[in-house]
Amino acid sequence: MTKTPSRAALLLTLTLLAPAALAQQSVSKVNGGIDVATGQTYGDVETVNGGITLGDNATVEDAETVNGGIKGGNGVRAQSLSTVNGGIRLGTNAVVRGDVETVNGGIFIDRGSQIGGDVETVNGAIGLVGTRLAGGIETVNGDITVGIDSHVRGGIKVTKPKRNLTVQKRDPRVVIGPNAVVEGPLVFERPVTLYVHSSARTGPVTGATALGFDTPTAPND
């Protein structure tokens, strides 16, 4: 005969499961920012008008906002990060399994981080330092720096602006830094200034002529 669990046993089971269930809850807002504290775990975190802050070692699924930036500390974990009007900045040793993207804002990813998808902007600079990127990099008007010791398995693409898109006055600046690797092709549909360090490796370049440099940083334009 099957025994019915006691009330005490059921309460104990629910007590043990409750923190795990709570940890996976999602947060959705229209107005206001979202703060995920250090070491906390959530599901999706979404807002329309507000920024998102992820503390050190915080874990989320998709972090998404429209009008606001996303700032992640060291060791954050996420499925994807996206915004429309705002920048995205990650500390060291971050892991994002999918894409990191914004329309109007820059993206910076610090040393030891791993990105499983693409990094994309329209109007905003992209900077990687000691980062491994499984996908590629794409922008229209932004500068790109594949910094020291970074490894991009996809390529780089700077696309031609659409007719209704405001174009910055100067050409985008693209820097492939010391010991950096870009495995895929570098395709430039508009004029850019491209610097490639002597210790860097890249795929084929289309639409630009690479300027070499040996110093720790690229020359000023």
| Residue 200, C-beta contacts closer than 8 angstroms, at least 6 positions apart | 146, 176, 177, 178, 179, 180, 181, 182
Residue 14 lies in a domain: no
Residue pair 121/107 in contact (Cβ under 8 Å)? The answer is yes
List, for residues 48-75, the tens digit of each pLDDT value: 999 999 999 999 999 999 999 999 999 9
Residue 6 lies inside a defined structural domain of this protein: no
User: Residue 18: enclosing H or E segment and its boundaries?
Assistant: helix 7-23
Using one digit for the tens of pLDDT, what is the confidence trace for 159-211? Answer: 998 876 666 678 999 999 999 999 999 999 999 999 999 999 999 999 999 99
3-state secondary structure of 168: coil
- State the pairing for strand pair 137-139/119-120: parallel
The pair of structure tokens assigned to 76 is: 């954050």
Domains of the chain: total: 1
| pLDDT band per the 50, 70, 90 thresholds, residue 4 | very low
**Residue 88 forms part of a structural domain:** yes
Q: How many CA atoms does the CB half-sphere of 106 hold within 13 Å?
A: 12
Tell me if 204 is assigned to some domain.
yes
Q: How far is CA 88 from the centre of its chain?
A: 7
pTM of the model: 0.87
* Structural domain includes residue 5: no
Q: How does residue 220 score in pLDDT terms, banded at 50, 70 and 90?
A: confident
The pLDDT assigned to 13 comes to 41
Indicate if the pLDDT at residue 11 is higher than 60.
no
Residue-wise pLDDT tens digits, 21-48: 444 799 999 999 999 999 999 999 999 9
The residue segments making up the domain with residue 36 are 27-213
The answer to whether 38 and 59 are in contact (CB under 8 A) is no
Q: Would residue 13 count as lying in a domain? A: no
Q: Indicate whether 50 belongs to any domain.
A: yes
Q: Which residues of 51-84 are buried (b: 16+ CB within 10 A; e: fewer)?
A: bbbbbebbbbbbbbbbebbbbbbbbbbbbbbbbb
In a domain, 117, yes or no: yes
Say if residue 5's pLDDT is above 70: no
Angle at 43 between CA 39 and CA 47, to 5 degrees: 100
